[in-house]
Amino acid sequence: MNIYEELKLLKEEVQKASSREALDCVFKKWREKYLLPLREQIKNFSSPEEKKKVGLLFKELQEKSQEIYQTKKDELSTWKNIYGEPRPSFLIEEEKIAYTSVNFLADFVNKLSNFLEKYNFNYYEDSEIVKVHENFDSLLIPENHPARATSDSFFLKNISKNSEGEKMLRTHNTTSTLEILKKFKGKEFKGASIGSVYRKEDNDPTHLSQFTQLDLVWVGRDLNLENLRELVEALLNDLFKDSSWSKEYVLRPSYFPFTSPSFEVDLRCNCGLLRECRLCKGSGWIEILGCGFLENEIMKKTHPNHCSLALGLGVERICMLQNSIQDIRSFYENDFTKIVKSANKF
């Protein structure tokens, strides 16, 4: 049998087919006449060598005939063959969009991302659902802390709030710092995370039950307060470089369970010491972030020979200051006059 002659015959026959039905009919007749009898012949051979030889011949004939059939089938399935005319274009031609609006919050997060890249902080994402001990105990937050109450935090199971198996929505992004420390155990590094945190707050102009935090961690052997001051100053200069706000700040001693020493950074308010200022309440200063050195008890688990700078800030809060937004709820409402910057041309 000359399979090439048989395939040539098949090609000629399928080319005459003008419909799927005609094609299927041609292919079926050809298979019954040439392909199936060849398969039956294989059974009649007693020699393994002959069976193998004819078997390979059958396989080649089957594959090549299927190719011929599929090619013709695809051709008959085109729009022109089905509808008798070229396929129309469904694209709607429109002028190029020349303007866009940028969400204040998205723009600010983009600035933070640029800062992280500029100062070699690697970005990491972590789960917003954490175990209770990861949110509290691992960060040395005492059992009598108000945040442990079901009235202050979102617990996912109604069991003992001190159970290591219970999960909750994280109340701060410092939980991601612990994961980053584990990832780079014993190594120097710079890491950061930006993500949502959750607290049982009544939504009002200055509070939300869900908001965004940035957490930075910088691990090294000889880090000191000067490094912390330089980091804070670089961050403020970068974030407020296009703002009317003063970059004057103070590093004020404070307390956080997981850092020692701990500081809060206050930014000079631009109100002019007005008593009625809602932001600074007449003090002239606005608290914008917390920072410090991670406690030795935390560090000894992964970096016993290192120290670590840590910094955290509320993204919406600073974004409100930058853009003179009076109500934090505006970021998540659909009033575009409040939540987007004025149109910017590409």
Domain map (residue ranges) of the chain: 3-83, 99-128+170-345
Give the CATH fold of the 99-128+170-345 domain: BirA Bifunctional Protein; domain 2 (3.30.930)
Structure confidence at residue 243 (pLDDT): 76
Query: How many angstroms separate the CA atoms of 104 and 239, rounded?
Result: 13
Task: Tally Cβ neighbours within 10 Å of residue 200.
Answer: 14
SS3 string of 125-187? CCCCEEEHHHHCHHHCCCCCCHHHCCCCCCECCCCCCCCCCCEEECCCCHHHHHHHHHHCCCC
pLDDT attached to residue 118: 92
DSSP for residue 124: -
What is the Cα–Cα distance from 228 to 91, expressed in whole angstroms? 55
What is the reported pLDDT for 143? Answer: 86
Residues 6+ apart with CB under 8 A from 3: 57, 60, 61, 64
Closest CA to 319 of 166, 173, 102: 102
Chunk the chain into consecutive blocks of 10 residues (it has 346) and report each block's average pLDDT, rounded to whole numbers. Answer: 73 82 84 81 80 82 85 77 66 63 82 91 89 89 85 75 73 90 91 92 86 94 93 91 81 93 90 70 86 94 93 91 82 70 39
Provide the token pair at 87: 């396929």
Task: Retrieve residue 9's tokens.
Answer: 């015959």
Whether residue 161 contacts residue 148, with contact meaning beta carbons closer than 8 Å, is answered with: yes
Predicted local distance difference test score (pLDDT) of residue 342: 42
CA 148 to chain centre: 29
246 vs 240: CA distance, rounded Å:
8
Count CB-CB contacts under 10 A for residue 63: 9
pLDDT the model gives residue 126: 85
Tell me the angle at which helices 104-118 and 225-239 cross, rounded to the nearest 10 degrees: 140
Confidence at residue 345, expressed as pLDDT on a 0 to 100 scale: 33
The pLDDT score that the predictor gives to residue 205 is 82
Is the model's pTM score more than 0.75? no
The pLDDT of residue 250 is: 92
> In the 8-state DSSP scheme, what is residue 123?
E
**Bridging pattern class, strands 307-314 and 285-294:** antiparallel
Query: Please, how many CA atoms are within 13 Å of residue 70, restricted to the half-sphere of its CB?
Result: 6
Residues 214 and 268: their CA atoms lie apart, in Å, by 21
Bridge partners of 192, per DSSP, are: 123, 216
